[in-house]
Structure 1
């Protein structure tokens, strides 16, 4: 997981000029946050579900990569399902994480459920995961 975080942080900084701050100062249920105007992300490394930290980083990167603008900080939420901006940030996150999951896997071993478990992806995103895996497998 550390390699994934390092790779994502390098991508954020070098490819997208996004500043990422890792902090263990927050409680285990304090979500990660993005400030789009300053292109800064704060990741709570003390999050209760360690498998989900790369998803949170990729999701927050997604807001900036997608060009989202918000007047207030955007906090990660597993439950947000009806906001198009959040859905697109999740879609971008899945696209960012899939190469890590697919690396070295044979096609017959690729499974949406395994991906979702590996990164603790909320179940409401299953259709997005299936669609993005299918799209990457065609490339």
Structure 2
């Protein structure tokens, strides 16, 4: 009888949802301030339910997106890949690599391939402007 009562009480505790913004067995831990949407997170892990607030990444949205993300600076919550390309002069999914110093114009290059978007500086050729002529 006592064991049955305990199991029923435990099942109710586990199945009850926490109020928005809280998690944990007793729903007394706060979700990250940087969770987007309605600010909710998983009752069991504290991982944000929706996307992060702009400029944040990670399961709890506590990390910053890479500094060189373009546009609004947003990135993928799971991979930290920049969603709006890179700032001029940077390439790679997380915009952590420099474009060739020989890219023309503002020095920007394609986020995925590193190909210079505005041609090459004088004296250089090729898609990434590494060939000197």
TM-score by length of 1: 0.20
Structure richer in helix, relative to its length = 1
Using CA pairs under 8 Å that are at least 6 residues apart, name the structure with larger relative contact order, 1 or 2.
1
Q: Considering only CA atoms, is the larger Rg found in Structure 1 or Structure 2?
A: 2
